[in-house]
Amino acid sequence: MASTEETVVGEAPGGLSKEKLLELLRAMLLSRRFEEKTAESYQMGKIGGFCHLYIGQEAVAAGAIGALREDDYVITAYRDHAQALVRGMSPNSVMSELYGRIDGCSRGAGGSMHMFDKSVNFMGGHGIVGTHLPIATGVGYAIRYRQTDQVCLCFFGDSVVNGGPFHEAFNMTAKWELPVIYIVENNSYGMGTDIDRVAAVDELFTRACAYAGKRAEQVDGQDVLAVYAAVERAAERARTEKRPTFIEAQTYRYLGHSMSDPAHGVYRTREEVAEERERDPINTFVDKLTDAGVLTDDDVEAMDKEIIDEVEAAAEFAEASPVPGPEEVYAHVYSDEYRGGPDGRDAWR
Amino acid sequence: MAVITYRDALNRALREEMERDDSVFLLGEEVGEYDGAYKVSKGLLDQFGEWRVRDTPIAENGFAGLGVGAAMVGLRPVVEFMTWNFALLAYDAIVNSAAKMYHMSGGQYNVPIVFRGPGGSALQLAAQHSQVPDPWYANIPGLKVCAPATPADALGLLKSAIRDDDPVVFIEGELLYNVKGEVPDGEHLVPIGVAEVKRPGADVTIVAHGKMVHVALQAAEHLAKELEVEAEVVDLRSLRPLDTASVIESVQRTHRAVVVEEGWPISGIGAQVVDDIQREAFDSLDAPVARVSGLDVPMHYARSLEKLIVPGPEPVIEAVKHVCYLD
Ligand SMILES: Cc1ncc(C[n+]2csc(CCOP(=O)(O)OP(=O)(O)O)c2C)c(N)n1
Ligand SMILES: [Mg+2]
């Protein structure tokens, strides 16, 4: 995943190999197409519950996870489809989870907000704002405890830096020198609240300076290469110096907070959204690659078509996957036998 | 058999399990240099070093969540709360993270963690420091809950809790740390979810857990001596899974039951036990089941009222007399 050794194209963007550049583009395109399909399925009633789309923010997940090794850990909040896919989870298993089917990564128990896949060290999918930051600290603790050189990459939203768990977690991570990379996806809004209305600082990364010092930085989250470079540096630092890093990636979500929210109105204008779409992370990256001669327009179109087919196939797979049966209801409450009490307690079910 | 304190039994459990399995580590406020606020972790820092006995900042949600993360990738953390009152700040980590992870990951990420510390009232610590957390956790699927009353059970249950692959809430008694009792030599494990008859008797069943087991035993001695009533005291030991079968079995022999707990009555542990008894042993009962609990108020500082709020043997004796139609 992190090998960047191969043929570096002359003036290749970011000094990366062609293979790596294509991997980053593919990751972003897959996220985008997958979520367009997700929105469609949601509107058809095939997906339920809270469903938060990542469209507009793809460069953050692609760049950050692209800079990791396969044995590193990734953890995130509820806006998690793209991270799951980029980390290598199959579109079939993510889509089936969205559809609430047994072939879903979490067997239909988690849904949109709770994607997990232990085989690729993807640790969720967490629905309570801020809760997973201390969990990431714990993963970092375990890495130091076992004396390996893995890292834990932790994504979260801008609203998190105003809450207690962020500070509790980061203080311990810094004090004990744990290899955790915190990356805030600053899309300017927590649901419908402009971060400027509730944060006492203007620039979010300054919140982390108390714990990360100069290792708190800001990057353009719409530039996949900038994100990649920042996380690559942070990962190297985590592996060798065991120091945490805080990265503020400035990004933007095009759609509403979740599928049940409007894209604009009240807290932001239609014009603002249109303006942000101008610096679309996928389009700008495609331009960069075609300008540099890494790819032709035809190549891009072919990749896009292949991805669209893959996503359509995932939706068909999910549609055909069985719904969980009643035998699943108590199956994973405990890792040993469920012992709830006398049967009489649920006699009328 | 050696006679040791409840505190030393817990210390022995931690030491034995940390020696046995190097993925076990302890973290919490004051657990290292200071040997623990109640000295449960005495000597462990010296033996195991700072990565395995970690003094944390006063950030309950943070260090409880840290434990969850470490457990998800295979360590076996024991998180000490100075008391369970402070664990309210970690309720999110325990309930939303630890208890849910195995389920919402479809069985991929189990969380082998123990959250432990003292619960219940001590002496004149007033409302914020005298709470009984038992039902707050016993209500949560995904958690296991233990509340040992004796040194032997403290030792055996804590060792089982550390070896368990799921999150265990382990509620010690703040006033039990100095209680002495016999503890088996060698390896001693008590299974989670199994009650024990602490005193046999044929006339009435008294169900209790934690500190209230001692209150029930005192009441039983008095009843035997003064009224020739032989009470059977069933110690639940675990609150989830709840060993209802043992309670029912006893009530079917005695035909009468009094259910005792230190905490508040509304939606308390006793409410669940009584529900199971009325449904599973209705035909065995010779009297309605009685409950004794703490009074339904925040704890008073004044000793005169604290004594009134926390159940002692007297209300248990009165309740037994009532279900035996002796009052
Ligand atoms: C503790 C908590 N409070 C409130 C909510 C409801 N909620 C879900 S997402 C959200 C906004 C979070 O915004 P941000 O962290 O910026 O992430 P984004 O949605 O922009 O990715 C809120 C208020 C929650 N899930 N958890
Ligand atoms: Mg946001």
CATH of the domain at B40: 3.40.50.970
| Average pLDDT value for residue range A74-98 | 98
Q: Which residues of B touch A73 (CB under 8 A)?
A: 73
Ligand 1 pocket: which of A35, A51, A129, A267 to mutate (most atoms within 8 A of CB): A129
Tell me which of B183, B214, B249 is where a domain ends: B183
Please count the other Cβ atoms lying within 10 Å of the Cβ belonging to residue B282. 8
Q: Where are the domains of chain A?
A: 13-322
Q: Do B72 and A331 touch (CB under 8 A)?
A: no
Q: What is the pLDDT of residues A1-43, one digit of tens each?
A: 333 344 444 568 989 999 999 999 999 999 999 999 999 999 9
Place of tokens 């809270």: A50
* Residue from B132, B175, B179, B116 nearest B152 by CA: B179
Q: What is the pLDDT of residues B239-294, one digit of tens each?
A: 999 999 999 999 999 999 999 999 999 999 999 999 999 999 999 999 999 999 99
Q: Whose CA is nearest to atom 18 of ligand 1?
A: A157
Q: Do B61 and A137 touch (CB under 8 A)?
A: no
Q: What angle do CA B23, B103, B27 make, to 5 degrees?
A: 30
Taking each helix axis from N to C terminus, what angle separates A18-43 and A297-320, rounded to the nearest 10 degrees?
40
Taking each helix axis from N to C terminus, what angle separates A281-291 and A58-66, rounded to the nearest 10 degrees?
60
Q: Three-state DSSP class for B197?
A: strand
Whether ipTM exceeds 0.95: yes
Q: Three-state DSSP class for A76?
A: strand
Assess if residue B191 is contained within a domain.
no
Residues B311 and B209 in one domain: yes
Range of the domain at B248: 196-323
**Strand runs (DSSP E) across chain B, as ranges?**
2-5, 24-28, 53-55, 76-80, 114-119, 144-146, 168-173, 180-183, 196-199, 204-208, 231-235, 238-240, 257-260, 290-292
Q: Is the pLDDT of residue A345 over 90?
A: no
Residues B150 and B201 in one domain: no
| Average pLDDT value for residue range B190-216 | 98
Q: Which of B51, B92, B110 sits opposite A145 (nearest CB)?
A: B51
Residues B77 and B44 in one domain: yes
The residue type found at A28 is M
> What is the DSSP code (8-state) at residue B3?
E
Q: What is the pLDDT of residue B161?
A: 98
Please count the other Cβ atoms lying within 10 Å of the Cβ belonging to residue A3. 9
Q: Whose CA is nearest to atom 13 of ligand 1?
A: A190
Q: Do B66 and A164 touch (CB under 8 A)?
A: no
Tell me which of B120, B150, B183 is where a domain ends: B183
CATH class of A13-322: alpha beta
Q: Which residues of A touch B76 (CB under 8 A)?
A: none
Assess if residue B19 is contained within a domain.
yes
- The catalytic residue positions of B are 60, 129
Question: What pairs with residue A155 in β-bridges?
Answer: A183
Q: Whose CA is nearest to atom 9 of ligand 1?
A: A191
Residues B39 and B148 in one domain: yes
Residues B18 and B106 in one domain: yes
Assess if residue B59 is contained within a domain.
yes
Assess if residue B189 is contained within a domain.
no
Q: Is the pLDDT of residue B59 over 50?
A: yes
Q: Three-state DSSP class for B260?
A: strand
Residues B136 and B248 in one domain: no
3-state helix, strand, coil in chain A (%, to 5): 50, 10, 40
Q: Which residues contact A146 (CB under 8 A, 6 or more apart)?
A: none
Q: What is the pLDDT of residue A9?
A: 46
| Average pLDDT value for residue range A281-293 | 97
Q: What is the pLDDT of residue A6?
A: 45
Q: What angle do CA A11, A12, A16 make, to 5 degrees?
A: 135
Q: Is the pLDDT of residue A177 over 60?
A: yes
Domain with B286 in it: what CATH number? 3.40.50.920
Q: Is the pLDDT of residue B24 over 80?
A: yes
Assess if residue B236 is contained within a domain.
yes
CA of B161 to the centre of ligand 1 (A): 34
Please count the other Cβ atoms lying within 10 Å of the Cβ belonging to residue A330. 14
Calpha distance B267→B249 (Å, rounded): 24
| Average pLDDT value for residue range B98-115 | 98
* Residue from A220, A279, A253 nearest A54 by CA: A253
Q: What are the CA-CA distances from residue A183 to residues A60, A208, B240, B262, B320 (Å)? A: 9, 11, 38, 46, 61
For chain B, the domain total comes to 2
Ligand 1 atom closest to residue A79's alpha carbon, by position in its atom list: 21
The residue type found at B128 is Q
Q: What is the pLDDT of residue A67?
A: 98
Q: What is the pLDDT of residue A10?
A: 52
Q: Are B113 and B167 in contact (CB under 8 A)?
A: yes
Q: Are A185 and A246 in contact (CB under 8 A)?
A: no
Calpha distance A321→A101 (Å, rounded): 6
Residues B114 and B255 in one domain: no
Type and span of the H or E element at A219: strand A216-220
Please count the other Cβ atoms lying within 10 Å of the Cβ belonging to residue B141. 13
Q: What is the pLDDT of residues A224-274, one digit of tens each?
A: 999 999 999 999 999 999 999 999 999 999 999 999 999 998 999 999 999
Phi-psi bin for B106: left (phi > 0), alpha (psi -120 to 50), beta? left
Tokens of A336: 């040993």
**Reduced 3-state DSSP string for A143-211:** HHHHCCCCCEEEEEEHHHHHCHHHHHHHHHHHHCCCCEEEEEEECCEECCEEHHHHCCCCCHHHHHHHH
Q: Which residues contact A275 (CB under 8 A, 6 or more apart)?
A: none
* Residue from B110, B92, B167 nearest A116 by CA: B110
Tell me which of B183, B211, B233 is where a domain ends: B183
Residue A253 CB burial class (10 angstroms; 0-12, 13-18, ≥19): buried
Measured between CA atoms, how close is B179 to chain A, in angstroms?
31
CA of A128 to the centre of ligand 1 (A): 7
Concatenating the DSSP letter of every residue in B139-155 gives: T-TT-EEE---SHHHHH
Q: What's the distance, Cα to Cα, between the start and end of chain A in Å?
A: 49
Q: Are A172 and A140 in contact (CB under 8 A)?
A: no
Residues lining ligand 1, Cβ inside 6 A: A 79, 127-129, 157-160, 185, 187, 189-191, 257
* Residue from A156, A173, A177, A176 nearest A74 by CA: A156
Residues B221 and B178 in one domain: no
Q: Is the pLDDT of residue B221 over 60?
A: yes
Tokens of A151: 């890292």
Q: Which of A106, A133, A138 sits opposite B106 (nearest CB)?
A: A106
Q: Do A109 and B69 touch (CB under 8 A)?
A: no
